[in-house]
Amino acid sequence: MQPQSFSRRAFLAAAAAAPTALPAQSGPGLKISIFSKHLHWAEWKEMAAVAKEIGFDAIDLTVRKGGHVLPERVTEDLPKVAEIVRQAGLELAMITTDIADARTPHAEAVLKTASGLGIHHYRWGGLRYKDGGHPMEQLRGFVAATRELGALSARYKMHGMYHTHSGINQVGAPQWDLYTLFQEAGSPWLGYNYDIGHATVEGGFGGWLLSTRLVAPMMKGVALKDFLWTKAKNGEWRPQWCPLGTGMVNLPKFFALIKEANFNGPLQIHYEYPLGGADTGQKKVTIDKPALIATMRTDLLYTRELLKKTGLA
């Protein structure tokens, strides 16, 4: 990978004397959300208060099994959480759901409720290839259901953002497959929640550059992660998630590309590296909460500085 032009080490040295509280961004530019999976240890009011304390502009709320709002309780609970988040001075920029297609249980209730509350972006996904068989033939099998989801999304004016993961048999890992699927489905309400960490895992040295340019017009949301390749005890090489700016993801270049594409959707920070259980969405964490908040703030500060340098803030 090319060396990054903005060093996290240099940033940390400069940020050491920065205020411990970071005000949320109120002016123009991309607003930054925290993925509420990493705040599952906090109830609704504390979740919003912590996100505000860290300095985020918005929340990407989990509305799924084990999330802050359960799908079967969306009509009762999502309005309550939306009010709490907004009273804290934050936006509820999007929701992350279990929706894979229009027939997923509670899918319509989730979209209808969110839309009625002024939330118009949701994350969906979960399509997988089967072992064996031609990938393009399998991909064509998803077209009808994707069109149906596009129609449901249009009904409630909801932008469906498919989250891209890396890994075996993941639809969206190579990027071009989702591009093809969305072209075939033909719905302007469906697009990418483009995870640059997973895109770099799959795209390596230069493939992520091509995929970013290919799908940029269809990006409705962007997720930020960083990683390094490490060898496991069994000898397999695996991505190990790490703080932003310490791994292989070229965030400065990526931000330049999405600026060129005039991206303006929800931008989310994900904390997948070890954080005492907050990384995996545990209800209880083993890390000191002030230390957890400070760590989360460091990634946010780093992101804000990069956005400023790129002209996206």
**Is pLDDT of 26 > 50?**
no
Supply the pLDDT for residue 9. Answer: 56
Interacting residues of 45 by C-beta distance below 8 A, sequence separation 6+ = 84
Among 98-102, 129-133, 182-186, the least confident range: 129-133
- For the segment 166-192, the average pLDDT, to the nearest whole number, is 96
Enumerate the domain spans of the chain: 8-310
State percent of the chain over pLDDT 70.
91
Supply the pLDDT for residue 18. Answer: 42
Instruction: Specify the DSSP class assigned to residue 135.
Output: H
Task: Report the distance separating Cα 299 and Cα 8, nearest Å.
Answer: 9
CA angle 75, 76, 80 (to 5 degrees): 110
Helix axis angle, 251-260 relative to 289-310, nearest 10°?
50
Q: Which residues pair with 161 in a beta bridge?
A: 123, 191
**Is pLDDT of 30 > 80?**
yes
Task: Report the distance separating Cα 191 and Cα 217, nearest Å.
Answer: 9
- For the segment 62-79, the average pLDDT, to the nearest whole number, is 98
**Is pLDDT of 78 > 90?**
yes
Supply the pLDDT for residue 25. Answer: 47
Residue 45, SS3 per DSSP: helix
**Is pLDDT of 19 > 80?**
no
Q: What is the DSSP string of 58-91?
A: EEEEEESTTSSB-GGGHHHHHHHHHHHHHHTT-E
Supply the pLDDT for residue 296. Answer: 98
Task: Report the distance separating Cα 257 and Cα 223, nearest Å.
Answer: 14
Residue with tokens 């089967």: 130
Supply the pLDDT for residue 15. Answer: 43
Kindly indicate the confidence band of residue 20, based on its pLDDT and cuts at 50, 70 and 90: very low
Burial (CB < 10 A; 0-12, 13-18, 19+), residue 254, is buried
**Is pLDDT of 5 > 90?**
no
Residue with tokens 């590309």: 257
Let me know: does 191 contact 163? Beta carbons within 8 Å: no
Supply the pLDDT for residue 205. Answer: 86
pTM as predicted: 0.91
Task: Report the distance separating Cα 10 and Cα 176, nearest Å.
Answer: 36
- For the segment 65-74, the average pLDDT, to the nearest whole number, is 98
Per the prediction, the chain carries an average pLDDT of 92
**Is pLDDT of 34 > 80?**
yes
Task: Report the distance separating Cα 238 and Cα 227, nearest Å.
Answer: 10
Among 27-36, 126-135, 236-245, the least confident range: 27-36
The 3-state DSSP composition of the chain as helix, strand, coil percent (nearest 5) reads: 45, 20, 40
CATH number of 8-310: 3.20.20.150
pLDDT digits (tens, 9 = 90+) for 92-125: 999 999 999 999 999 999 999 999 999 999 999 9
Kindly indicate the confidence band of residue 7, based on its pLDDT and cuts at 50, 70 and 90: low
Supply the pLDDT for residue 192. Answer: 98
**Strand bridging mode 121-124 / 91-97:** parallel
Let me know: does 55 contact 90? Beta carbons within 8 Å: no
- For the segment 171-188, the average pLDDT, to the nearest whole number, is 96
